[in-house]
Amino acid sequence: MMKIKLYDTTLRDGSQSAAVSFTVDDKLKIARRLSAFGMDYIEGGWPGSNPTDEEFFRRASRIKEIRQRLVAFGSTRYKRNKASDDPNLRALVKSGAPAAAIFGKTWDMHVTRALRTTLDENLKMIADSVAFVLSKGINVIYDAEHFFDGYKANRAYALSTIKRAASAGAFNITLCDTNGGALPDEISRIVADVVEHIKNMPRSSFANGKRPSVGIHTHNDAACGAANALVAVESGATLVQGTINGIGERCGNANLCSIIPALSIKLGFNIGASSAKLKGLTELSRYVDEVINRIPDETQPYVGRNAFAHKGGIHVSAVERHPSTYEHVDPALVGNTRRIVVSELSGKSNVLVKAKELKFNLAQDDSAARSLIENVKKNEAAGYQYEDADGSFALLVLKTMGKYSPFFNLKSYRTIVESDRNGRLVTEATVKLEVGGNLKYTVAEGDGPVNALDKAMHESLEDFYPELKEVSLRDFKVRVINPTSGTAAAVRVLIESADERSSWGTVGVSENLIEASWLALCDALEYKLFKDRQKKI
């Protein structure tokens, strides 16, 4: 089985994404995770370009598990410099990384217009740069920038650039679709030609007598980044560059979270990472998003929250009988899980499966199941949405089955927002609750009405239910349901809450934002209390 090397450039190319800004600590955290996952190469950045990357390499080169996979990135020498005097190349040598990726121009138009030098001088720049860095004991990958555009414009010259890099001692030649506009059939044909071209070069033409491998680096501007990487491998490339979650400049880089399972599960290539580590792919994806403060793409293939979500009743029924009816791979292989979504489109299958997930036993012919379907449809017609509100759905099941017993009863609540003499907004919430015959009256201040209500509820209830101290509000979303009604429109509030073991969603709907929030908050705390005491019903 052919081994495909994985080359992660999240920390370098991914940092060029418009919404991404890494700190040194961010980069070190992610590098550790990439190393633990089993990436063969971790491109840490461009040490000659900014202080952050210089500091990262200084620290990363001292961490054994990172250093052995570390790659420093830089360009060929400046046209008027000697390689030995070039600041960029000297920074690569100083980085402490055992490997360097040097990019150079392969498109004749870029050579004459961007570099403003001659085609012959550019070939010398490539050869000099690779040879100098190699002479310092650093392995060199040559990134052939804009290779596919260059190949289509002037095949002979594009091939001559990679020949120079190979002859100077680069152990890998990575072909870059830098503009991201190539299509799979072009990638496949051109990569196959390059592989054959290198194969036909005499061994004596290589500095160390070893024939370099071919790599692929694609971007997603034509929505073909992952597909282009895969067809390149099928055409002979043995190193794949990409980023976690496809982050990168413009439309992003090829997404390793899609490429890795396709190579391993679909195509049967050896990617180095064991099947056990492959199960950590979803966690790795979400970890990187968390570090860079990015909202995860829920529809991302393989690792997205909705990658294996089923909403249509026919689909759910079929998946329950045989998962492959509507799942192209087992979600567990990449550390993901199947989700059954309950909505107005739900049939009995959805409701039964979802109830089973929440540890309710509803028989196939149980009238409660039919009543539950009707309640779901009625509530969703009023604006409720249970797709991300498992907590509220569980409470609806209890109420439908006649087994709901409230943990507390509301007597009244009130919120006040006022501005003091200094113009500072002060928000106060007053909550009066009854628990087991005991009346609790609490006043709390917060950053806004919802925060103040949340604090007041916690203060009221934690004396009776200490476990509520574990609960925190993670996310708060508001959606206007019928915007044509203007300020009288109904709103839907979705709240995500969490304790030390899990997270859950709850929903509230009202024409009043505060009431909708209150309903969702109440469900959040009641669900916590219910699940901690839950037994199969």
- Contact (CB, 8 A) for 145 and 103: yes
Q: Which residues pair with 504 in a beta bridge?
A: 497
CA angle 53/56/62 to nearest 5° reads 145
- Contact (CB, 8 A) for 169 and 131: yes
* The one-letter amino acid at 202: P
What six digits make up the tokens of 361?
């036993």
pLDDT tens string 171-201? 999 999 999 999 999 999 999 999 999 999 9
Query: Could you tell me which of 513, 516, 505 has the C-alpha nearest to residue 474?
Result: 505
- Give per-residue burial for 247-263: e unless 16+ CB within 10 Å, then b: bbbeebbbbbbbbbbbb
- Contact (CB, 8 A) for 337 and 305: no
Place of tokens 């392969």: 106
Query: Cα separation of 159 and 195, whole Å?
Result: 11
Q: What is the DSSP letter of 37?
A: H
* CA distances (Å), origin 292, targets 16, 23, 66, 71, 356: 13, 9, 20, 21, 36
Query: Cα separation of 83 and 130, whole Å?
Result: 9
Question: What is the SS3 assignment for 240?
Answer: strand
Which pTM value belongs to this model?
Answer: 0.78
Provide the sign of the torsion angle of the four alpha carbons 119, 121, 122, 126, taken in this order: positive
Tally of CB atoms within 10 A around 211: 15
Query: Cα separation of 509 and 481, whole Å?
Result: 9
Place of tokens 């990134």: 143
Place of tokens 């121009």: 105
Query: Cα separation of 338 and 360, whole Å?
Result: 18
Question: What is the SS3 assignment for 44?
Answer: strand
- Contact (CB, 8 A) for 47 and 54: yes
pLDDT tens string 321-348? 777 888 899 999 999 988 777 665 556 6
Query: Cα separation of 294 and 278, whole Å?
Result: 22
User: At 151, which helix (H) or strand (E)?
Assistant: helix 147-153
Residue ranges of the chain with per-residue pLDDT less than 50? 536-537
99-105 and 139-145: which strand pairing?
A: parallel
- Contact (CB, 8 A) for 502 and 515: no
Provide the sign of the torsion angle of the four alpha carbons 268, 273, 278, 282, taken in this order: negative
Domains in the chain with CATH codes: 5-273 (3.20.20.70)
Query: Could you tell me which of 7, 4, 75, 19 has the C-alpha nearest to residue 44?
Result: 7
Show contacts of 33-37: CB within 8 Å, 24+ apart.
33/284, 33/287, 33/288, 34/8, 34/10, 34/69, 34/244, 34/284, 35/65, 35/66, 35/69, 36/65, 36/277, 36/280, 37/273, 37/277, 37/280, 37/281, 37/284
User: Residue 385's pLDDT is what?
Assistant: 85
Q: Which residues pair with 416 in a beta bridge?
A: 428
User: Residue 365's pLDDT is what?
Assistant: 56
425-435 and 409-419: which strand pairing?
A: antiparallel
